[in-house]
Amino acid sequence: MPVYRLSIAILLLALIPLETGARDAWAIWDSRCEECHGDPARFAGKYLWNIDGQLQGHHHIDNLGLFMRNHYVPDHEIEAIHDMLLAEANSPQRFEAECGECHGAVNEFVEQSIWVRGSGITGMESGMDVSEFLPTHRELQPGDVSFYRKLFARVAGKPIP
């Protein structure tokens, strides 16, 4: 366990009144999850989404809680791990900041303008796949395009094509 994280864990343990289940999620992660998933912030940044407070995975969309219960996470630690991952996960805030002034809230934008299906993600007005459209729009770079594709699929509650 990296020393800085250990010291953060100790600091938190000293500050937070302890209850069962409030055991530091980062420490739980280090002992039970890190060997396979590495750093939790990197893991969450790569695979996880906070959509309206709901934690979604890359593979597991609406059943992530159930999946985690059967996946190395004891019931009494689910909440702590869930909250930690939620705080580190990607969220629509970036859309609000970068696109909201013209497109408004992401939920409405996706509902009205974006069609997510198995074979791709299409803009309704342009009729173009967003992978082709976005690089010409707002000077978005490949990393940004990938982020927004995933976000649109996540907001639509669909697997990422």
CA 26 remoteness from chain centre: 17
> CA 119 from chain center: how many Å?
22
Contacting range for ligand HEC; rule: CB under 6 A; set: 3-11, 14-22, 121-129, 153-161:
121-129
- The answer to whether 67 and 60 have CB atoms below 8 angstroms apart is yes
Give a three-class secondary structure readout of 104-129: CCHHHHHHHHEEEECCEEEECCCCCE
- 155 touches ligand HEC (CB under 6 A): no
For residue 148, state whether it binds ligand HEC (rule: CB under 6 A): yes
Rounded to an integer, what distance in angstroms lies between the CA atom of residue 9 and that of residue 5?
Answer: 6
Closest approach of ligand HEC to the CB of residue 76, in Å:
12
The 56-95 site mask, x for binding ligand HEC (CB under 6 A), equals -xxxx---x---x--xxx-------x--------------
- By CB under 6 A, tell whether 130 contacts ligand HEC: yes
Using the contact rule CB under 6 A, the part of the chain among 6-14, 15-23, 32-40, 153-161 near ligand HEC is 32-40
Which one of 6-14, 16-24, 28-36, 153-161 is the stretch in contact with ligand HEC (CB under 6 A)?
28-36
| Residue the block writes with tokens 């980062």 | 26
Torsion of CA 16, 21, 27, 31, to 10 degrees: 160
CA angle 38, 40, 54 (to 5 degrees): 135
Binding site residues, ligand HEC, CB under 6 A: 32-33, 35-37, 47, 57-60, 64, 68, 71-73, 81, 98-99, 101-103, 113, 123-126, 130, 133, 137-138, 140, 148
